[in-house]
Amino acid sequence: MNNRIDIKFKHLKERGKKAFIAYLTVGFPDIETNLKLVLEMEKRGVDLVELGIPFSDPIADGPTIQASSQASLARGTTPADALRLAAVIRKHSSIPMVLMGYLNPFLHPNPGSLAKNLARAGVDGVIIPDLPPESSDSIRKPLREKGIHTIFLLAPTSRPDRIKLVARKSGGFIYYVSHTGVTGARKKLSGELTARIREIKKNTDLPVAVGFGISTSNQLRRVWNIADGAIVGSALIKPFLEEATPDRGLAKCLAVLDSLLKENKT
């Protein structure tokens, strides 16, 4: 079963390229704008998208993504809306899609039904930050049977045994959190980033993508020099918080995206 994430990273590696992974919050500013944004992202060179399910009590989201989630929840967005959005995107696009959300919404009605629904919607992977890899098999195995990857996170505090466990359990790629704390733009990335990525790569052949705090061309370039992909979220969501209308937010978001891709995806 060919997974779009695997195919994308394989093609990028063959061309000596690295992945640009974009995060958006489902339902913010609205579902229609989400669809427009993903289709425009693909045209402009985004390699993979994360569709974030808004959640009322996040453990890793910084203020920008929290604000987008609260606005989305206030509009009545549900996990079912995320699946519907994914299904519509898949009708128009072959871009790899990862659904990112917290464990509680993924438990209903059951993992088997979840796997079927995700596969039907064309989802390629899931990221569940509060799902411990050591007790993930009840969810991970039904997803794997449908060709869907479960992507786990590592952090600067991850010990060698944790790195080995995540390397065994992950599919698609490993998500490395560039700093402790929550998401959000940072002026500087950790000075230990290179050493940590090298340590992870000693334990796996999976691609490693770096997220949390990446918002500038210089940061992207540094990540791409050492890892297989960079994940950008807050920098693309912030324009929608700053502008008065979804259309103006979309235009500003795409301008930010173009400025990042223009300098680095050559």
pLDDT tens-place string over residues 64-86: 999 999 999 999 999 999 999 99
Q: Residue 58: its pLDDT value, please? A: 62
Model pTM score: 0.92
Number of domains in the chain: 1
Q: What is the CATH number of the domain that holds 91?
A: 3.20.20.70
In a domain, 79, yes or no: yes
In a domain, 209, yes or no: no
Closest CA to 58 of 114, 88, 101, 110: 101
Q: Which amino acid is at 94?
A: S
Q: Residue 184: its pLDDT value, please? A: 40
Mean pLDDT of 107-133: 93
Q: Which amino acid is at 221?
A: R
- Sheet of strand 125-127, all strands in order from the earlier edge strand to the far edge: 149-151, 125-127, 97-100, 48-52, 19-25, 229-232, 208-211, 174-177, 153-154
SS3 per-residue string spanning 216-227: CHHHHHHHHHHC
Q: Residue 186: its pLDDT value, please? A: 44
CA-to-CA separations, 143 to 74, 112, 242, in angstroms, rounded: 30, 8, 37
In a domain, 203, yes or no: no
Closest CA to 189 of 130, 140, 231, 245: 231
Q: Residue 253: its pLDDT value, please? A: 98
In a domain, 171, yes or no: no
Please write the tens of the pLDDT for every residue from 17-65.
999 999 999 999 999 999 999 999 999 999 999 999 998 776 656 789 9
In a domain, 196, yes or no: no
Q: Residue 265: its pLDDT value, please? A: 56
Residues with a catalytic annotation lie at 50, 61
Angstrom distance (rounded) from CA 152 to CA 137: 13
In a domain, 32, yes or no: yes
In a domain, 174, yes or no: no
Angstrom distance (rounded) from CA 203 to CA 106: 28
Containing domain of residue 59, as a range? 4-150+217-264
Q: Are 101 and 82 in contact (CB under 8 A)?
A: yes
Q: Are 230 and 220 in contact (CB under 8 A)?
A: yes
Kindly report the average pLDDT of the chain as a whole number: 91
Q: Are 229 and 197 in contact (CB under 8 A)?
A: no
In a domain, 65, yes or no: yes
Angstrom distance (rounded) from CA 156 to CA 154: 7
Q: Does the pLDDT at position 183 exceed 90?
A: no
Q: Residue 213: its pLDDT value, please? A: 80
